[in-house]
Amino acid sequence: MNVEETMGAHGFTLSLGCSGEGSYTKFVKTLGKKAYVSVTTVDGNGFPTSMEEPVTVVVYDSKSGDELGPGLSFDSLSAYLHSLGE
C-alpha cells in the first residue's frame, strides 16, 4: 500500500492549499468545534511521500483556520499513524 492509500485508510485526503503546498487532512470534532487535522512534512511545505518521513501534525478550527493548539512533530509518518491507536 502506498502513502496515499495508507492515509486514505485512516480517513485522510490529500489537500492542496492556494499557494500550492499540500497536506493530508482529516475533518474531526474537538473541543466542541469542527476542526481538521493537517499532516505535513516537518518544514510545513508539503505532504509526506514516505512512511519514514518526519511529519508535523496541527489541528485547525474549520471556521476560522486558527490553530487549536501547538503542532506536534513525529519522527515518521508511521509513528504518527501508530499513535492514533486505530
Write down the domain spans for the chain. Answer: 3-84
Confidence category of residue 86, pLDDT binned at 50, 70, 90: low
Q: With a cut of 90, say whether residue 21 has pLDDT above it.
A: no
pLDDT in tens, 22-50: 899 999 998 788 999 999 999 888 899 99
Share of the chain above pLDDT 90, in %: 74
**pTM of the prediction?**
0.90
Share the mean pLDDT of the chain: 91
Contacts of 68 (CB under 8 A, 6+ apart): 30, 31, 33, 35, 59, 60, 61
Q: Which of 83, 82, 68 is nearest to 33 (CA)?
A: 68
